[in-house]
Amino acid sequence: MTTLRMEEGAHAVLARNDRGGYTVPTDRLYPFQWNWDSAFVAMGFATFNVDRAYRELERLVEGQWDDGMIPHIVFHVPSDTYFPGPDVWGTRHRILTSGITQPPVFGMALRHVHEAALANGMTDAEVRTRALFQAALHSHRWWLEARDPDGLGLVSILHPWESGSDNSPAWDEALARVPTTTTTTIRRKDTGHVDAAMRPRDEDYQRFIHLVDVYRDCDWDPKRQWAKAPFKVADVQMTAILARATADLMHLAEALGTDEDRAGLAQMRRRLVDGLARRWRPDLSRFVSLDLISGADIEAPTQAGFIPLVALALDGAQQSAITAEIGRWLDGMVVGVPSTPAFSPAFEPKRYWRGPVWAVINWLIADGLRLNGAEDLARRVEQSTVQAIENAGFCEYFDPTTGEGLGGDTFSWTAAAYLALGRRR
């Protein structure tokens, strides 16, 4: 069980980061509403305030574009502590947003919040879930049309920021092809809040902003972006989250959807599950993403290779192989699962997505392990996450070799993970 003092601490982090129905990931470093952060945060709120959990999702869909995309940032209120702000994105939605998206945890969160609402006997649960269900369905259709136009059964990211794992070694080769030239002047703010050694490098930022420049020049039109994209990766983490969220929407659709919704979702899920299953590599004991520009598998070991656990029922041989591989990555670590394993040449235990442990990733991995019958390992991952937070606080991420808390402190999604995972101990 979690301790009462820490639970109160988690509630206090969420209260401190509340900006009026939505939660910033942390003060100053991330001063707006972020897409997948908010979905995890909604599940955290669902443990003690279901009305507020719904609000988190409702405020996020204020930023949804007419074509269905839910952007990665909604700039509800101005702030000068973050770069790139709305002027760089230059999008034209009713309210200011970025122009790219993030992992669609939204559908998973919606089912979670709906079930909490029913358990609490909330009278407006059905009306609120129904509206959000339509938003989620629209966004899933956008994903398949805009990001899998060739019907691979895998959705692609056009920017590393979309993956949420910005500077993961998984993107190194693909990103190296992106020029470092930009038409936008880069004025990084992140390194004023957090030690530069824990953040992406300047060269990464030049490439990140080059991509923003290219897509802004496409007027954020999905077809033009697809044609012009200098970075295009069919990502197994993104696809797995979309497939799982689709299954969660199918569950909601049993009571709240039409026959057409149910058939559409079932077809979508089948396509994604089949696409993902083809990405299993028995020699690596994990799944691999596909670089659509070079045509090559991305074999760099990162946490993404395990995320398909949330969406697929693996066979016995795959289950034993993947659990043994996760065990190998945990070996010698104070806290796991590292985002890059210590045996990889790319491992940097303090630099953002190149080694550190992220509570929400462990939340997904543990959930997927449990779905695949690996209860003991699921509990081990959950318990070490809760323990790391109790030792170091609600930090953005943790050094796997020492357990030290890193990045921004008082992080909303770490507080949410503590509340959700602590209940399962």
Give the whole-angstrom CA distance, residue 21 versus residue 82. 21
**Distance of closest approach, residue 261 Cβ to ligand DGY, in angstroms:** 31
**Distance of closest approach, residue 246 Cβ to ligand DGY, in angstroms:** 24
DSSP structure string for 363-410: HHHHHHHHHTT-HHHHHHHHHHHHHHHHHH-S-SEE-TTT--EESSSS
**Residue that the structure tokens 């990211």 belong to:** 157
Question: Reduced to 3 states, what is the DSSP secondary structure of residue 280?
Answer: strand
Q: Does residue number 161 form part of the binding site for ligand DGY (CB under 6 A)? A: yes
Query: Residue 170 class from Cβ within 10 Å (0-12 exposed, 13-18 middle, 19+ buried)?
Result: buried
H/E stretch holding 328 reads helix 316-330
**Number of amino acids touching ligand DGY (CB under 6 A):** 4
Give the whole-angstrom CA distance, residue 30 versus residue 164. 13
Q: Does residue number 159 form part of the binding site for ligand DGY (CB under 6 A)? A: no
Task: Please compute, for residue 101, the number of CA atoms within 13 A of its CA located in the half-sphere on the CB side.
Answer: 25
For residues 63 and 257, which CB has a smaller minimum distance to ligand DGY in the complex?
63
**Distance of closest approach, residue 259 Cβ to ligand DGY, in angstroms:** 38
**x-marked contacts with ligand DGY along 390-409 as a string, rule CB under 6 A:** --------------------
DSSP 185: P
Give the whole-angstrom CA distance, residue 236 versus residue 242. 10
Catalytic residue, candidates 148, 190, 248, 396? 396
For residues 72 and 350, which CB has a smaller minimum distance to ligand DGY in the complex?
72
Structure tokens belonging to residue 316: 């016995």
CB 72 within 8 Å of CB 82: no
**Shortest CA distance to 231 belongs to which of 152, 290, 148?**
290
Residue ranges in 174-213 that form contacts with ligand DGY under rule CB under 6 A: 190
Query: Among residues 27, 37, 148, 166, which is the contact residue for ligand DGY, using CB under 6 A?
Result: 166
**Distance of closest approach, residue 85 Cβ to ligand DGY, in angstroms:** 11
For residues 84 and 153, which CB has a smaller minimum distance to ligand DGY in the complex?
84
HEC states along 19-39?
CCCCECCECCCECCEEHHHHH
Q: Catalytic: 203?
A: no
Q: What is the dihedral of CA 68, 74, 75, 77, to 10 degrees?
A: 110
Q: Catalytic: 396?
A: yes
**Distance of closest approach, residue 331 Cβ to ligand DGY, in angstroms:** 29
Query: Among residues 52, 55, 59, 72, which is the contact residue for ligand DGY, using CB under 6 A?
Result: 72
Q: How far is CA 379 from CA 277, 363, 367, 402, in A?
A: 25, 10, 10, 20
- The packing angle between helices 4-16 and 35-45, to 10°, is 140
**Distance of closest approach, residue 100 Cβ to ligand DGY, in angstroms:** 8
Catalytic residue, candidates 27, 166, 248, 404? 166
For residues 161 and 287, which CB has a smaller minimum distance to ligand DGY in the complex?
161
For residues 7 and 37, which CB has a smaller minimum distance to ligand DGY in the complex?
37
**Distance of closest approach, residue 40 Cβ to ligand DGY, in angstroms:** 14
For residues 128 and 350, which CB has a smaller minimum distance to ligand DGY in the complex?
350
**x-marked contacts with ligand DGY along 19-58 as a string, rule CB under 6 A:** ----------------------------------------
For residues 2 and 101, which CB has a smaller minimum distance to ligand DGY in the complex?
101
Q: Which residues bind ligand DGY (CB under 6 A)?
A: 72, 161, 166, 190
> Which residues are known catalytic residues?
166, 396
